[in-house]
Structure 1
């Protein structure tokens, strides 16, 4: 079945081959996403897990927010992840030093309280 030629006065295709790509908000975001610090947040779990969990949550949000185009949100999540990771390392370091000191103190007290018989 053939429809024949188009009627006279048909404007034809638009100039320039059609419409261009949509503007703004689509496609890959420009630049590279900020460092999410996920590795350090995972390591921080062994130091002080109550502060490492928020660090992990924020670190996993960075790339997702960046890919959605929310650059400010990605930088804010990165800042929060770094903050909680530092707090976890500091608290964990203090905790390890205190626990090590208590073990050393208990060992010294145990040795000094043990009677020696000759």
Structure 2
């Protein structure tokens, strides 16, 4: 007996028997694989699933969505986050990198709103790290100025 898996673009679901998978009423574009194979194929390429497709793309991979084709990907903030991590503030830079890495993944999975939220979070943490570093540098320069001024007297 073969076991099947399908993907909704974010997670893999399964294993399912052929009958269980047919009951899911997948769309023709849903990505499916057999347990013995590592290759993902659209459900329509499996002859054993013919006649069991649903009207709506219930579990179709959002990467094929026509609605997302015209929406530009939000800014990732990846390079800026790396620079903030290296030169400015490690904890906030890492938070920026983590969120920046999620932007493209969510966008490619069709989660436009999630990609936008991740972009905003990446930008927020990157900018916080940058401005904290700038403030720290200004405070350090003020401290040096005070020390050198007191050293003269």
Decide: shared fold, TM above 0.5.
yes
- Given candidates 27, 32, 39, the residue that maps to 2:64 is 27
Structure (1 or 2) with the larger CA radius of gyration: 1
Question: What is aligned with 2:92?
Answer: 51
Matching of residue 39 in structure 1 with residue 69 in structure 2? no
Unaligned runs of 5+ in 2: 1-27, 30-56
SS in 2 for 1:32: coil
Structure 1 residues 80 and 104: alpha-carbon distance in aligned structure 2, compared to 1, 3 A threshold: same
Aligned residues: 92
Cα distance, 1:39 vs structure 2: 1.6
Instruction: Return the structure number with greater strand share.
Output: 2
Q: Distance in 1 between matches of 2:91 and 2:144?
A: 23
Matching of residue 91 in structure 1 with residue 132 in structure 2? yes
- Given candidates 112, 129, 151, the residue that maps to 1:71 is 112
Cα distance, 1:65 vs structure 2: 1.0
Cα distance, 1:26 vs structure 2: 4.8
Q: Distance in 1 between matches of 2:84 and 2:99?
A: 13
Q: Distance in 1 between matches of 2:94 and 2:136?
A: 17
Structure 1 residues 76 and 111: alpha-carbon distance in aligned structure 2, compared to 1, 3 A threshold: same
Name the TM-score, length of structure 1 as normaliser.
0.68
